Amino acid sequence: MVEAVMLWNEPNNLSHWDFQIDEGWTTFSKLVKTASGAIAAERPALTRVLGGMSPIDPNFLKTLDASGAVDAVDAVAVHGFPLDWNHWQIHEWPDKLREIQAVTAKPVWISEVGVSTFGAEEVQQFGLNRTAELLAGRSERIHWYSLYDLPRAWPATTRHREAEGSSYYRHFYMGLLREDGTPKLALKDFSRHTPALGICQWFHFEDHRLDDAVRRLKDLGVTYLRTGLSWADSGRPNAQAWFDRQMQALEPFRVTVTFCFTPEGEGVRPHHTSPPRDVRPFADFCAAQVRRYA
């Protein structure tokens, strides 16, 4: 069942929202307020969450608060990867949460946290157990990213790709399972942390891993999950049929569904990170999916 919707993903990360076009997140704030209102009109009790910020930045949240965007949601969210990409250490997690809690009274969700096996599987195993120890009881939702490694044939959603060096390649090692479905060391530990920990798993359009993922998540004792429905994918042939299949398969879990990514024809520039020229079509997309699945 859908328990929450999240509006965009990492809006303060240029790989997901072009804030060089949208200076001060003016369009983004309008998008959040308009979409949130459309969702509330369909399902007033459904929890609305601001897209998880990465990096964790209280000043970003202050900017959105000043525009009224924070008032339009029920919770805010953060993403953290201190053993891979962030400039802080894993033991600082409680401090990073407090930085955000100091500037908002909204609940703070952790909608992505993870550790890659780029250097060694033992690093991920340590990171999982230490993260669970540090964050237990500190947030209503803690989504571990992710169940599967990103297949090497698929591009990671970043700006510079291979030019980023090892920072880019780490995206392909975030799973508890390898691309071929074989387990890594941390997998055997994960079930010790469920149901307190959930999973964030993005499913690509017509993703071949969907049914296996459902089986694996049940075996791990996962009860809540974060995933996405891409506005950019909604114009593909058979898009709604795929959305139906995905959401039906995930019905056993409490799902936070993330709405994000701009269709090329809707953007200020033709790119999925672009602010849309008009936020209303995004709000209509959100309302239609909530009406169908929530």
Q: What is the pTM of this model?
A: 0.96
Residue 156 has pLDDT above 70, yes or no: no
Residue with tokens 């250490």: 89
Q: Give the span between the Cα atoms of 183 and 148, in whole angstroms.
A: 9
Average pLDDT, rounded, for the chain: 96
- Cα–Cα distance measured from residue 70 to residue 183, given in angstroms and rounded to the nearest whole number: 39
d(CA 71, CA 33): 8
Residue 290: pLDDT over 90: yes
**What is the strand order of the sheet 254-260 is part of?**
47-50, 2-7, 254-260, 224-230, 198-200, 142-145, 108-113, 76-80
| pLDDT confidence of residue 167 | 78
- Give the pLDDT of residue 32: 98
- Measure the CA–CA gap between 217 and 240, rounded to whole angstroms: 24
Task: Name the strand (E) or helix (H) holding 212.
Answer: helix 210-220
Query: Tell me, what DSSP letter sits at residue 220?
Result: H
84 three-state secondary structure: coil
CATH topology of domain 2-277: TIM Barrel (3.20.20)
Range name among 69-78, 166-175, 268-277 with the lowest pLDDT average: 166-175
Q: What's the pLDDT at 162?
A: 52
Can you give the pLDDT at residue 10? 98
Whether 163 shows a pLDDT value over 60: the answer reads: no
What average pLDDT does this structure show over 98-116?
98
- First-last CA distance in the chain: 7
Give me the residue spans of the domains in the chain. 2-277
- Residue 169's pLDDT band (cuts 50, 70, 90): confident
